[in-house]
Amino acid sequence: MQSLFGLGSSADIDIRFDGEEQRKWVDVKVGRDQRDKFPLYADGESVTGKVNIRVKEGKKLEHNGIRIQFLGQIEMFPDKSPQEFISMGQELMAPGEMRGLQTFDFEFKNVEKQYESYLGLNVKLRYFVRVTISRRLSDIVREKDLWVYSYKSLPDENHPIKMEVGIEECLHIEFEYNKSRYHLSDVIVGKIYFLLVRIKIKYMELSILRRESTASMAASQQLGNESETLAKFEIMDGAPVKGETIPIRMFLSGYELTPSFRDVNKKFSVRYFLNLVLVDEENRRYFKQQEITMYRSPLGSGEE
């Protein structure tokens, strides 16, 4: 997620945020087997720091100006055409030439960061600073990302979920979950009641699905949907009998969840579903999905 300056460049650019060593850092999965850490910022918080530019010894760097920007972008694959929703800039140095090491301070005051950072299957929402040394042939560019959490107030209403699932004359079950909205370190508590069982059930599992919906940059194209299974939990192994009750207790803190997002900048949404699956001895699958809302609760309210 960080762009390196071009190979063969005659200058190195190092970006440092003020106080980044004391900040909370967020560990993020950025690839199949790759993780990275980013300093955490909040909506409305200023972004300040220093830029160190070192020209190689014995060299001079002629340039057409040095500029720093604070950017918020949404990139959706396969379009790969980033759309900026925040763009702020400052001039660090007028056109001229540089030798040795020079340090520049930067400050973006009280920056509105209305969306949470997100890295999904087909969507990337990122905040970063970019330093550009403008040159006649090729610019030298360095970027450094930060991460943003968006904290929401606790929901006023959080009703339990109660539903029935049935196959006529074969299966009738009722299931309930203790609530419909969960913070990211919550526990899903529920029960499953078997009212009628005339099929041979082999096992039953509960999974959490994340569904990412994206709107193409071209208005003429339809929405795309991509789902992934984030968690799978076997809640029963073996055939139940009529009248049996199966308890559910699923801890969410061990999974890489994000809040639910709706129509972020009119570009994408992220929704979560509980998927209850029953598999019979002939490997036929019966399932029922129920949408839940995930949210990041304010500090001190039980989540963190």
% of the chain with per-residue pLDDT over 90 = 58
In angstroms, the CA 97 to CA 92 distance is 13
d(CA 282, CA 167): 16
What distances in angstroms separate CA 163 from CA 93, 172, 192, 280, one per listed residue?
64, 11, 10, 21
- Extract the tokens encoding 265: 């900048």
Segment among 108-112, 171-175, 235-239, 278-282 with least mean pLDDT: 235-239
Q: In this structure, what are the phi and psi dihedrals at residue 19, rounded to the nearest 5 degrees?
A: 65, 20
As beta bridge partners, residue 207 has 232, 275
Q: Which of 119, 69, 90, 144 is nearest to 228 (CA)?
A: 119
The whole-number average pLDDT for the span 90-113 is 96
Antiparallel, parallel or unpaired: β 171-177 and 187-197 = antiparallel
* Degrees to nearest 5, angle at CA 74 with 72 and 78: 150
| Distance separating alpha carbons of residues 33 and 120, to the nearest angstrom | 14
Measured CA distances, 129 to 121, 140, 186 (Å): 24, 14, 34
Does residue 156 or residue 295 have the better pLDDT?
295
Task: Look at residue 19 and give its three-state secondary structure.
Answer: coil
pLDDT at position 57 = 87
**215 vs 114, higher pLDDT:** 114
Q: Which residue has the higher pLDDT, 113 or 2?
A: 113
Q: Which of 106-110, 211-215, 216-220 has the lowest mean pLDDT?
A: 216-220
Highest mean pLDDT among 1-15, 108-122, 269-283: 108-122
Q: What is the pLDDT of residue 201?
A: 84
**pLDDT for the residue 140:** 94
List pLDDT tens digits, range 238-277. 778 888 898 999 999 989 999 999 999 999 999 999 998 8
| Cβ 47 vs Cβ 109: under 8 Å | no
Please determine, for residue 217, whether its predicted confidence score (pLDDT) is greater than 60.
no
Cα-based torsion angle of the residue sequence 178, 181, 182, 187 in order, rounded to the nearest 10 degrees: 10
Percentage of residues of the chain with pLDDT beyond 70: 91
Fill in the amino acid letter for 295: Y
Burial class (CB in 10 A: 0-12, 13-18, 19+), 200: exposed
Phi, psi of 43 (to 5 degrees): -60, 135
Query: pLDDT at residue 128 above 90?
Result: yes
DSSP per-residue codes, 204-233 = EEEEEEEEEEE--SSTTSPPEEEEEEEEEE
Q: Which residue has the higher pLDDT, 75 or 156?
A: 75
Amino acid at 207: S
Domains and CATH numbers, the chain: 11-149 (2.60.40.640), 161-295 (2.60.40.640)
Q: Among 85-94, 173-182, 194-203, 214-223, whose mean pLDDT is lowest?
A: 214-223
pLDDT of 4 higher than 60: no
What pLDDT, on the 0 to 100 scale, is given for residue 2? 40
**For residue 117, pLDDT beyond 50:** yes
| pLDDT grade for 9, boundaries at 50, 70 and 90 | low
What pLDDT does 302 receive? 43
Higher pLDDT, 280 or 73: 73
Query: Mean pLDDT over all residues of the chain?
Result: 87
